[in-house]
Structure 1
């Protein structure tokens, strides 16, 4: 895929939620940046501030943090046509406490924050699109927190494979275990139980 293909993928993704005319698309494409990451590269790490919205055009990524025992906790996974970020850092302008890392060679289409803020004024449809995305992200985070406190591990695993069928084969098992809040050994048990 070419850079133009990656941008078209993003525009078509946005058009699923809002209407864009040719002038909107022209203004929108002017602010876009392409970023390529190799496997294991970090988009950003703790202490850095998230300065862009990041659309995955190709590849697979995750966000995670390390607890006081240096144990990884995966918060988000993403593949093609998904967004990945530390919204806390992006919205609050505070330093991130998370790592955002490529799990495969990845191509991102980035929307730099300051240019995007201006675009919200120039192209109201883009503002509307991101309001929808941020609301959906909030709902998803709240559901995940409630599910992690109320569902048992097997139910969380079933929900994961139902919701993330394309991801399970692309992500190492220890990362899936981290996302579900179980050990890799217990994940193996859940997978056997499910099959």
Structure 2
């Protein structure tokens, strides 16, 4: 059960679990390792898992009709990643989720998570709170995108996610911010001059 200890630590931030409940969770989860570049899910496939990241980094993105990649989010250790719309609705995925580094996750299939909601009702509380926090974060990102300049959005990104900034290529950060890599380079040059 050592492999699920990071997951249990995350659960314990919100709920208390008995040994029997921990055993149920252990039996209904799978430890999965991905190589750098591998996909957890691809757009158009069915997303049948929600994933707790033990180690590594993923990006969630779409590719538009011109072949341009638009990054929606990054996920690192102790974060969750999934195409939630596909996972919940059982429809094809809207997003790709690709590993930026060798990545290890604990996976819950849709079916096993539904069973766990019945077997360990406390998990309903945990996942409700998790989704509420994710919704608030998404709403704040929308507000930042509407109300802040590109420079302010970059500074907010660095402040909110300092551990991600150094792990991913700058062109991907630019995609996440909705700007070109050249414009991000210009912003970074300005910031250096201002120091």
TM-score normalised by the chain length of structure 2:
0.95
Match in the other structure for 1:125: 122
CA RMSD of aligned residues (A): 1.1
* One of 4, 7, 18 as aligned partner of 1:7: 4
* Partner SS, residue 59 of structure 2: strand
> Does structure 1 residue 75 correspond to structure 2 residue 72?
yes
TM-score normalised by the chain length of structure 1:
0.95
Shift of 1:6: 3.4
> Does structure 1 residue 113 correspond to structure 2 residue 116?
no
Q: Distance in 1 between matches of 2:127 and 2:191?
A: 37
For residues 150-161 of structure 1, the aligned pairs below 5 Å read 150-161=147-158
* One of 84, 93, 97 as aligned partner of 2:94: 97
Gaps of 5+ in 2: none
Asked whether the equivalents of residues 59 and 79 of structure 1 are also in contact (C-alpha less than 8 Å), the reply is: yes
Q: Distance in 1 between matches of 2:136 and 2:45?
A: 26
Q: Distance in 1 between matches of 2:101 and 2:169?
A: 11
Q: Distance in 2 between matches of 1:7 and 1:172?
A: 30
After the TM superposition, which parts of structure 1 deviate over 4 Å for at least 4 consecutive aligned residues? none
Q: In the comparison of the two structures, how many residue pairs are matched? A: 192
Q: Distance in 2 between matches of 1:98 and 1:80?
A: 20
Gaps of 5+ in 1: none
